[in-house]
Amino acid sequence: MTTSSRYLEAPRRLRAFVRAHETSLVLLAALTGAVGGVVVLAMSIAVAAMHALLFDISIHQRLSAQDSIDVIRALAVPTIGGLLLGLAFLWLARFRPSREIDPIEANALYGGRMSFRGSVIVALQTIWSSGSGASVGLEAGYTQLASGLAASLGRAFHMRRNDQRIMVGCGAAAAIAGAFGAPLAGAFYAFELVIGGYTPASLTPVGVAAVAGYFVTHGTAELKLGIFAGSVGSVAGRDLAIAALLGVLAALTGIAIMRGVALCEAVLAKTKLWPPLRPMLGGLAVGGLALATPQVMSSGHGALQFSSIVAMPIAFIAGVFVLKALASIVSLGSGFRGGLFFATLFMGALGGRLFAAGVDIVWPGLDLDPNAYAVIGMSALSASVIGGPLTMSFIALESTGNLWLTTAVLVAVIISTMITRELFGYSFATWRLHLRGETIRSAADVGWIRDLTVAKMMRQDMSTVDAAMSLDDFRRKFPPGSTNQVVAVDGEGRYAGLALVAEAHAPDLKTDKGLAGILRHTDIVLNPLMNIQEAIAVFDAAEAESLAVVEAGGRRRLVGLLTEAHAMRRYAEESEQRRREVIGEV
């Protein structure tokens, strides 16, 4: 049935059964995984159909695998597609002024709550962007819609906060497992990037969802998704050290790409162009780049064929690498919807091949395996931009089946991730959130901190006095032991300061200044909308045990009182509650 909250609810008895039995969460995760697999199939087919229609190719062919594209189509399709997308953004802004929440932000700040309608909109925008030829991946759309469906299912069963977050992770795991043919990578994508950590409570549902998504997506031979690496030679000990160097270069390249997207956005914003013209110009630029090589278009699935990458001339590989990076930066920076996951895999494979060739020139005797370093570069660059070192390691393992190569990959992705965090501090998803004013760096649950506001913790039954009262009158009204402190207000009810009763009764205190002479923290107050972390920071800076809470807006009207001890106790209680939820004790 439809509720006042505008989402479906399961019957009460069924909700109670699901909350009481952990196995029920696993069954819902399996359902989520199957739905996630269908999402990947449906979106992939939709994009393939758009490519067939708009670029006059077979629906069984990949756009980025074409040798050439008709000049008019290459320029017109992404240009008109960008204009129409920009117009759609303007139209949607009238009805949905707030931006949509992605799975990482939902789990970090909102307890796993996502808008189903908003997720559908993002998925459609991603399909249109990639279908128009923009250099963006579908993975962001896959995870958005699959996680949005999972979140809606969780809300229908009134799941606990931690279970709701796990459901969002299950949707993302299923989508990535299906998209890359890699259930382990899908599961660890959820753990590292969407849930924010691995716990015994999340292992089974996320794993089941990833496997279900994989089998549903790969149950058909008509649409081949994933990465198909060729045979890889033996990996020696020397390759671990060389892979570490490749990890350093991958990190620097990833940081440059992420900053390039932000720079492109900033430059276009400064031009004061009518918003729909920005993606239109981006589409025109991508179309121009596609005239040099169609491999820059769309996500790059067709272009990422390891056998062909190894066989390409080095100069051509370098050109495709630069053009693909520019196309991805321009596409995202101008406003097309999508992600950089598959694009960075493709660019990383090209970069790894270039790296192997460069090392062979400097040190000819090493004779590095170009296929192996294409896999290492693919994983290292994606680890820098997307995050998730284990996710990228498992993609390498599941696409090659080579454990020793995966060891070299692990070295590269660890180095790449560490340098990116040290020099840049963000993955691409959290960097975009940072540009919007958020401070989160992962999907770890910090939403409860924002929910625990000063307004929810403060007392409203405090004693007040007129700040103009004489000290003698104050002493008579509040004898020693009657209370600890009193809030002073002026004649219009505005906060004036805190008066300590014990201090007012000190024998050596001068009374000529009246009560105003002993008031404390006259200019330091709390706002009801502050979260607990902000409040504790104010207590620390003021070295105060209690602070008044005044109305927001600058009128300083007293609304409550909060003690540091109570704030710290509530913080400890909530932290313990979240810890118990994570390990499955509640």
Task: Please tell me whether residues 96 and 26 are part of one structural domain.
Answer: yes
Burial of 44 (0-12, 13-18, 19+ CB in 10 A): buried
Quote the number of domains for the chain: 3
End-to-end CA distance of the chain: give it in Å, rounded: 29
Q: How confident is the model at residue 309 (pLDDT cuts 50, 70, 90)?
A: low
Task: Please tell me whether residues 330 and 416 are part of one structural domain.
Answer: yes
| pLDDT digits 0-9 by tens, 436-476 | 766 676 667 667 777 888 989 998 888 888 888 888 888 88
CATH number at residue 41: 1.10.3080.10
For 468-524, the DSSP string reads T--HHHHHHHS-TTS-SEEEEE-TTSBEEEEEEHHHHT-TT---TT-GGGG-B-SS-
Mean pLDDT of the chain: 86
Residue 585 counted as domain residue: no
Q: How confident is the model at residue 512 (pLDDT cuts 50, 70, 90)?
A: low
Q: Express as a percent the part of the chain with pLDDT over 70.
A: 90
- Cα 288 to Cα 280: distance, rounded to the nearest angstrom: 12
**Whether pLDDT at 122 is above 90:** yes
Show which of 192, 207, 226 is a domain's final residue: 226
Task: Please tell me whether residues 414 and 359 are part of one structural domain.
Answer: yes
> Of 19-23, 112-116, 121-125, which range is least confident?
19-23
Task: Please tell me whether residues 266 and 335 are part of one structural domain.
Answer: yes
Which pLDDT value is given to residue 442?
A: 66
Show which of 374, 409, 435 is a domain's final residue: 435
Range of the domain at 155: 12-226
**Whether pLDDT at 6 is above 60:** no
Q: Which residues contact 519 (CB under 8 A, 6 or more apart)?
A: 467, 488, 496, 497, 498, 499
**Whether pLDDT at 176 is above 80:** yes
**Whether pLDDT at 307 is above 80:** no
Residue 232 counted as domain residue: no
- Strands 546-550 and 464-466 turn out to be unpaired
Task: Please tell me whether residues 271 and 397 are part of one structural domain.
Answer: yes
Task: Please tell me whether residues 182 and 147 are part of one structural domain.
Answer: yes
> Of 31-35, 225-229, 405-409, which range is least confident?
225-229
Could you tell me which residue, 79 or 98, shows the higher pLDDT?
A: 79
Task: Please tell me whether residues 62 and 142 are part of one structural domain.
Answer: yes
Task: Please tell me whether residues 273 and 207 are part of one structural domain.
Answer: no
Residue 257 counted as domain residue: yes
Task: Please tell me whether residues 411 and 463 are part of one structural domain.
Answer: no
Q: How confident is the model at residue 228 (pLDDT cuts 50, 70, 90)?
A: low
Which pLDDT value is given to residue 465?
A: 87
| pLDDT digits 0-9 by tens, 246-268 | 999 999 999 999 999 999 999 99
Which pLDDT value is given to residue 2?
A: 35
Strand, coil or helix: what is 489? strand
The two three-digit tokens of residue 127, written as one number: 């399909």
Residue 7 counted as domain residue: no
Task: Please tell me whether residues 298 and 430 are part of one structural domain.
Answer: yes
Residue 544 counted as domain residue: yes
Which pLDDT value is given to residue 429?
A: 80
CATH number at residue 514: 3.10.580.10
Which pLDDT value is given to residue 5?
A: 44
Q: How confident is the model at residue 299 (pLDDT cuts 50, 70, 90)?
A: confident
User: Average pLDDT in the 228-235 region?
Assistant: 70
Residue 146 counted as domain residue: yes
- Cα 408 to Cα 412: distance, rounded to the nearest angstrom: 6
Task: Please tell me whether residues 278 and 216 are part of one structural domain.
Answer: no
The two three-digit tokens of residue 67, written as one number: 């040798």
- Cα 384 to Cα 415: distance, rounded to the nearest angstrom: 9
> Of 219-223, 527-531, 554-558, which range is least confident?
219-223
- Cα 131 to Cα 40: distance, rounded to the nearest angstrom: 14
**Whether pLDDT at 3 is above 70:** no
Task: Please tell me whether residues 308 and 280 are part of one structural domain.
Answer: yes
Residue 420 counted as domain residue: yes
Show which of 183, 202, 226 is a domain's final residue: 226
